[in-house]
Amino acid sequence: MPYVINEEHLQFQYHLIALQQYSHKLFLNSPIPEQKLMAIFGNFEEEAPVEVIKKILQGVEEQGNGALSKNRYREQLRGLIQLRKLGKEFKIAMGTITKFKVEKDPFYQDGIKKGTEKTEARKNHDFVENLILELNLSDEKIARIVEVSDEYVKKFAKKLLPENKSIILFYQIRWINSSS
């Protein structure tokens, strides 16, 4: 990684340091919440990552001014933790803080909403597929039963049964029904 800027009107040299060469305690002892957040990049030594994350959260909570700044620091820590790949540990640490309710977390709510939508779409998909393959119903009837658009059923039927097969299937079903 380059550590020199050498342009026509600008010359600058710097040294990169690895924050993991310093103890996380150095950052935790800072009176500035932003510096406390940097403890996530420090060397945890023998301490468990969950414990370090708890200490960072507690330190930020103590020194944060108001709920807005505390939430901001929590979100910043969430982003920094992703860089260090400590997502599971963060989740455990957040679970031990009684003030934090996962159900109120906007990321949790988004995940629930997306999961519900996917489940609903999958149910509709399977239901439409079964109605097309098993029953002799028109696309419009299927759309009404499943409460989806006619276009959705028509597109799905087209993918499921290419034109030749759907005509053959239609006549086979008609023939079976008339024979009974």
Q: Which of 81, 100, 119 is the last residue of a domain?
A: 100
Q: Domain count of the chain?
A: 2
Question: What does the DSSP 8-state code read for residue 22?
Answer: S
Which is higher by pLDDT, 163 or 49? 49
Q: Are residues 92 and 11 in the same domain?
A: yes
Read off the pLDDT of each residue in 118-146 and give the average, rounded to a whole number: 78
Domain containing 28: what range?
Answer: 4-100
Q: At what angle do helices 139-146 and 150-160 cross, to 10 degrees?
A: 120
Give residue 11's pLDDT band: very low, low, confident or very high (50, 70, 90).
very high
Integer CA distances (angstroms), 172 to 168, 176, 177, 178, in order: 6, 6, 9, 10
Structure token pair of residue 26: 């150095």
Whether residues 94 and 130 share a domain: the answer is no
What does the pLDDT read at residue 164?
44
pTM attached to this predicted model: 0.48
Q: Are residues 140 and 92 in the same domain?
A: no
Quick one: 125 and 85 in the same domain? no
Task: Give the end of a domain, one of 67, 84, 100.
Answer: 100
**Domain shared by 122 and 172, yes or no:** yes
- Do 171 and 118 share a structural domain? yes
Tokens of 86: 């400590």
How many other β-carbons are positioned within 10 Å of the β-carbon of residue 25?
A: 15
Model confidence band, residue 10 (pLDDT cutoffs 50, 70, 90): very high
pLDDT value for 157:
76
Residues 23 and 95 in one domain: yes
Q: Are 75 and 132 found together in one domain?
A: no
Determine the Cα angle at 126 with ends 151 and 143, to 5°.
Answer: 30
Asked if 9 and 94 sit in the same domain, the reply is: yes
Both 92 and 120 in a single domain? no
Residues 80 and 121 grouped into a single domain = no
Residues 120-135: what's their mean pLDDT? 77
